[in-house]
């Protein structure tokens, strides 16, 4: 079995490009969340993204790159990312963009923890301590000690559930990436998005399960499909292109470097979410969100710096086989 390439600089570049695209994607979905059902947005986006990803696949060996000896792992990975995305977008419809994104940034912490049992990567006590500090930041934003919150506990938990699902997906990507091109991984992802969207359309596309008054998140999930408005077509097209690029960039990033190196750079999305929330939706984070962000970002940066220090060659020591 061949090893995946160890190219941390290129992996970091891909993760940054992917996170910027994700941030714009999240902002655009929040813009559309007031009129379209989530599964319709996901379906329209997947159709366009498939065109992009097949174009990328043609540069990585063509259709033969889709051949795999682990089809069920690809299915599992696709299901995890679809569940993570849809869970997060339900939260985005009901929460300020910065708050939902900040809570979702438990994902790199989960990735660091999951890399221990699933990838056999070594994570020392200092980095484990930083992960605990990061989860403390999540608790600060969740505020479990408060009885009266503007949002329900379930809605506040949705981004954290999405983070865990996303972390599982990314760790699995690292394993799949040893044998599959990044574009092939992206194609499988978009096909899963499309299949889930069509399933929702067949079961609930006419809106018969939409609640009369059960909150923004549930209404966003179950409302009826509508004909896209002309003024929204450019948003839908942009979403599709971004989704295709995101699937490729994230798959490539986690194939090219250890998750403990790549994951902290996902925090680039946090200031971007705050920016979009302020510019587009007039939202500004409260004190608890700022404190939680500080703890999570601080923990992520510490994990990254420790990983860099561990990877640095020590005086008098030789590196074997060009790897740590």
Q: What is the 3-state secondary structure (H, E, C) of the chain?
A: CCCCCCCHHHHHHHHHHHHHHHHHHHHHHHHHCCCCCHHHHHHHHHHHHHHHHHHHHHHHCHHHHHCCCCHHHHHHHHHHHHHHHHHHHHHHHHCCHHHHHHHHCCHHHHHHHHHHHHHCCCCCHHHHHHHHHHHHHHHHHHCCCCCCCCCCHHHHHHHHHHHHHHHHHHHHHHHHCCCCCHHHHHHHHHHHHHHHHHHHHHHHCCCCCCCCCCCHHHHHHHCCCCCCCHHHHHHHHHHHHHHHHHHHHHHHHHHHCCHHHHHHHHHHHHHHHHHHHHHHHCCCCCHHHHHHHHHHHHHHHHHHHHHHHHHCCCCCCCCCCCCC
Q: Which residue has the higher pLDDT, 315 or 282?
A: 282
Give 320's pLDDT tier (boundaries 50, 70, 90): very low
Query: Residue 215: what pLDDT?
Result: 62
Helices 71-94 and 97-104, interaxial angle, to 10°?
A: 140
pLDDT value at residue 176? 66
pLDDT at 84 over 90: yes
Query: Which string of b and e fits 140-162 if b means at least 16 CB within 10 Å?
Result: bbbeeeeeeeebeeebbebbbbb
Average pLDDT over residues 55-72: 79
What gap in Å lies between CA 166 and CA 169, rounded to an integer? 5
Query: Which band of pLDDT confidence, cut at 50, 70 and 90, is reported for residue 231?
Result: very high
pLDDT > 60? residue 36? yes
Higher pLDDT, 249 or 323: 249
Q: Return the higher-pLDDT residue of 145 and 154.
A: 154
pLDDT of residue 178: 54
Mind listing the pLDDT tens digit for each residue in 38-52? Answer: 999 999 999 999 998
**Which distant-in-sequence residues (6+ apart) come within 8 Å of 158 by Cβ?**
87, 88, 90, 91, 100, 217
Q: Which of 86-95, 143-152, 297-306 has the lowest mean pLDDT?
A: 143-152
Please, what's the b/e burial string for 62-77 (b: 16 or more CB within 10 A of its CB; e: otherwise)? Answer: eeebbeeeeeebbebb
Which pLDDT value is given to residue 282?
A: 92
Q: Is the pLDDT of residue 307 over 90?
A: no
Q: How would residue 259 be classed by pLDDT, with cut points 50, 70 and 90?
A: low
More confident residue, 60 or 213: 60
pLDDT score for 197: 94
pLDDT in tens, 277-292: 999 999 998 888 899 8
Q: Work out the mean pLDDT of the chain and round it to a whole number.
A: 82
Q: For 169-211, how does the pLDDT look when each residue is reduced to its tens digit (9 = 90+)?
A: 878 777 665 567 777 878 888 899 999 999 999 998 888 887 7
Residue 315: what pLDDT? 36
User: How far is residue 29 from each of residues 156, 259, 312, measured CA to CA in Å?
Assistant: 18, 27, 41
**Mean pLDDT over residues 106-111, rounded?**
82
- From the list 257, 276, 298, 230, the residue with the least C-alpha distance to 22 is 276
User: Could you tell me the two tokens for 104?
Assistant: 């979702």
Residue 309's pLDDT is 67
pLDDT at position 148: 57
| pLDDT score for 23 | 93
pLDDT at 234 over 60: yes
Contacts of 246 (CB under 8 A, 6+ apart): 18, 21, 22, 25
Domain boundaries, the chain: 8-309
Average pLDDT over residues 268-274: 89
Reported as a pLDDT band with limits 50, 70 and 90, residue 302 is confident
């Amino acid at each position: 079995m061949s090893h995946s390439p160890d190219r941390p600089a290129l992996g970091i570049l891909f993760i940054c490009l992917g996170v910027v695209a994700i941030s714009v994607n999240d902002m655009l979905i929040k813009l559309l969340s007031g009129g379209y059902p989530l599964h319709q947005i996901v379906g329209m986006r997947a159709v366009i993204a498939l065109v992009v990803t097949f174009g990328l696949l043609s540069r990585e060996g063509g259709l033969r790159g889709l051949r795999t000896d682990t089809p069920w792992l690809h299915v599992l990975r696709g299901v995890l990312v679809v569940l993570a995305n849809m869970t997060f977008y339900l939260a985005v419809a009901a929460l300020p963009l910065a708050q939902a994104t900040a809570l979702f940034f438990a994902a790199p912490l989960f990735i660091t923890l999951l890399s221990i049992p699933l990838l056999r990567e070594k994570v020392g006590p200092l980095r484990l301590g930083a992960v605990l500090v990061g989860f403390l930041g999540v608790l600060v934003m969740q505020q479990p000690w408060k009885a009266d919150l503007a949002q329900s506990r379930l809605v506040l938990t949705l981004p954290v559930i999405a983070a865990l699902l996303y972390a599982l997906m990314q760790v699995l990507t690292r394993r799949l990436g040893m044998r599959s091109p990044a574009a092939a991984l992206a194609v499988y992802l978009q096909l899963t998005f499309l299949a889930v969207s069509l399933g929702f359309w067949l079961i609930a596309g006419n809106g018969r399960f939409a609640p009369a008054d059960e909150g923004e998140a549930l209404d966003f999930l179950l409302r009826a499909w509508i004909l896209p408005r002309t003024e929204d077509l450019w948003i839908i097209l942009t979403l599709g292109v971004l989704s295709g690029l995101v699937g490729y960039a994230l798959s490539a990033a986690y194939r090219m470097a250890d998750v403990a190196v790549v994951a902290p750079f996902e925090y680039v999305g946090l200031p971007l979410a705050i920016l979009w929330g302020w510019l587009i939706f007039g939202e500004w984070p409260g004190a608890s969100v700022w404190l939680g962000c500080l703890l999570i970002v601080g923990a992520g940066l510490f994990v990254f710096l420790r990983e860099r220090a561990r990877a640095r060659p020590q005086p008098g020591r030789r590196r074997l086989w060009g790897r740590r």
